[in-house]
Structure 1
Amino acid sequence: MADPHPERASRSHAEREDKRSLFQKLVEFINPGPDSTDELIETLAEAEDNEVINAESRIMLEGVLRLADMTAGDAMVAAPRMDLLDIDAPYEELLREVITTAHSRFPVFQGERENVIGILLAKDLLKLQRAPDLNIRTLLRPVVFVPESKGLNDLLRTFRINRNHLAIVVDEFGRTAGLITIEDVLEQIVGEIEDEFDIDADEGDIFALADNTWRVAGDTPLERVNESFNVQLGTPTDSDLDVDFDTIGGLIAHEMGHVPKRGERLQLGGLDFYVLHTKGGAVRWFKVSPAGAFE
């Protein structure tokens, strides 16, 4: 049977749809919602102050908002710092580079570093060990090229749809500007993503490796390094330093005269320090061996 009062039914439905109180409506009228990213971020800060959200949630939400204004060029690893593999290099050299840098994916070039011809997964390199006659070209995955101006929102969507984890960034002239991974994009939202190199200092900072070398954290106290390797780095008997250094990373940076980059090497006190991993402008890990061991 038809409702004898359709107007009342319609009004009742509308009241159920809008459950805001008169006070809430008045507040919204007087103080309209934020109309810019900066205002929205301020609103998130107020929400944290009012314990509506916690600090971790605010940081992630801010990361999502800022992501919309960022491009691949903002988050990429610059070309000079890229770890690449030469397709014409011997298998032993390729394997040593993979083990040393500990990445899971590598751009592969032929001739010049600018000429990236494919992406090699580290696990695929093991197939060459079982079948030495296998052509490495057959193991390469297609390269994804993106412009520096590509928005990180769009890039993240591309990574998800195509199931890619790495892209080569090119500048306006088509030259290689750097590379970017899905981890680089996600870190803009959640902060640094810890990996197998990111071990808490409480768990140790000097680790013996199978090839009779050691992995040493950049923030390892000099005193501990000296005791472990029976050396006297950073002491008056070692050099004429006029500055005291607390960590091995600080000492190495001073000796090099610049912030160390991945792949750089320095011999000091009878030890060879190879920069294995950097993050945030500082060395996270060195690979240490007796001087001359790999010459």
Structure 2
Amino acid sequence: MAKPSTTPGFFERLSSLLLREPEDREQLMKLLQSAHQRKLLDADALSITEGALAASEITAREVMVPRPLMEVVDIGDSLETIIAQVNRTAHSRFPVVEGNRDKVIGILLAKDLLRVQREVGFDLRDWVRPAVFISEFKRLDGLLREFRVSRNHMAMVIDEYAGIAGLITIEDVLEQIVGEIEDEYDFDEADGNIELDHSGLYRVKAHTAVADFNAAFGTCFSDDRCATVGGLLLRELGRVPLFNETIAIDGTNFQILRADSQRIYTLLVSGPPDAGDPQ
């Protein structure tokens, strides 16, 4: 019979380190960083732990998709219109509104449309699921707990006047803890920095070098003060752009496909009319 291992596990080593009883969050973070330096925590574990601690101080308002940028479905839309919107956005969930964005009556799951392709007399009301409403001041750690218990993946964020301020998904919350989560609609690591999108435009990774972008699109952006396309947009705006925001620079339009509160990840680009096809 094999003898049980006497090597202390991760939690035993971490508990031993924390016997110093940190008095505040700053001391706790220093202990965790010390654990990383002593190889008790790897870089990923440290990053996730820091993200989990930070989530208790971040509110829904800080990471939500703002109301003007929400992709919504109107209760009066036809099945054909809704399917076209699903194909265009590749989202899995949509707030359903009646008349205006302050009147959200529920959530539509794109997967439900697979069951109604042949339905005669389609009525969207039959497929709307209840919406969850939360305060814009809701902390992410509590919201994640609610998502897990209720099995909802999207919540509508309301402001102090009970108006719709935006929406937030479980992915938005998790990305604040574990970092960017890529799905089947994101670039694969093996893909190039510039790829043709199904829309006929081009997906561009924000870390693409300005010089490479110029060569592909026939533009003449300077790389004296920023080396990447993402840096070019940050310099132009003076802030991190919002999801789905569009920025025009010298005739080139950049739409933000993926971004969080700290950085840009992916762009959708339409070049000047006389630009050649990127290679």
Give the TM-score taking structure 2 as reference length: 0.73
Shift of 1:139: 1.0
Counterpart position of 1:217: 204
Measure how far apart 1:282 and its partner are: 3.1
**Residue equivalent to 1:164:** 152
**CA distance in 1 between partners of 2:96 and 2:66 (Å):** 16
Give secondary structure in 1 for the equivalent of 2:100: coil
What residue identity is the alignment partner of 1:142? P
In the alignment, which residue of structure 1 is the partner of 2:259?
279
Give the structure 2 partner of residue 101 of structure 1. Answer: 89
What is the aligned counterpart of 2:244 among 262, 271, 280? 262
Within 2, Cα distance between the matches of 1:257 and 1:69? 25
Equivalent residues in 2 for 1:68-83, closer than 5 Å: 68-83=56-71
Among candidates 146, 153, 167, match of residue 179 of structure 1: 167
Choose between structure 1 and 2 for higher RCO, CA contacts under 8 A separated by at least 6 residues. Answer: 2
What is the SS of the residue equivalent to 1:195? coil
On the 8 A contact 1:260/1:275 being kept in 2, the answer is no
Query: Where do 5+ consecutive residues of structure 1 fail to align?
Result: 1-23, 236-240
Matched ranges for 1:76-91 at <5 A: 76-91=64-79
Give the aligned CA root-mean-square deviation in angstroms: 3.6
Instruction: Describe the superposition over 1:233-278 as per-residue Cα deviations: whole angstroms up to 9, x where unpaired.
Output: 337xxxxx89898666677888999947516486987x8x572613
Q: Offset at 1:140?
A: 0.9
- The residue matched to 1:192 in structure 2 has which SS? coil
138, 150, 153: which one aligns with 2:141: 153
Please say which structure displays the higher CA radius of gyration: 1
* Deviation (angstroms), 1:189: 1.6
Provide the secondary structure at the position in 2 that maps to 1:164: coil
Residues 253 and 260 in structure 1, CA contact (< 8 A), matched pair in contact too: no
5+ long unaligned stretches in structure 2: 1-15, 274-279
How far is 1:180 from its partner?
Answer: 1.2
Change (3 A) 1:91 1:244: farther
- Quote how far apart the aligned CAs of 1:205 are: 3.2
1:129 aligns to what SS in structure 2? coil
Q: Is the 8 A contact 1:256 1:266 kept in 2?
A: no
| Distance 1:70-1:136 versus aligned 2 partners, 3 A rule | same
Matched with 1:120 is 108
Determine the structure 2 residue equivalent to 1:8: none
Structure 1 position 143, deviation (Å): 0.2
Query: Once the 2 structures are TM-superposed, how far is the Cα of residue 95 of structure 1 from its aligned partner?
Result: 2.5
Structure 1 residue matching 2:161: 3-state secondary structure: coil
Residue of structure 1 in register with 2:192 after alignment: 204
Equivalent residue pairs, number: 253
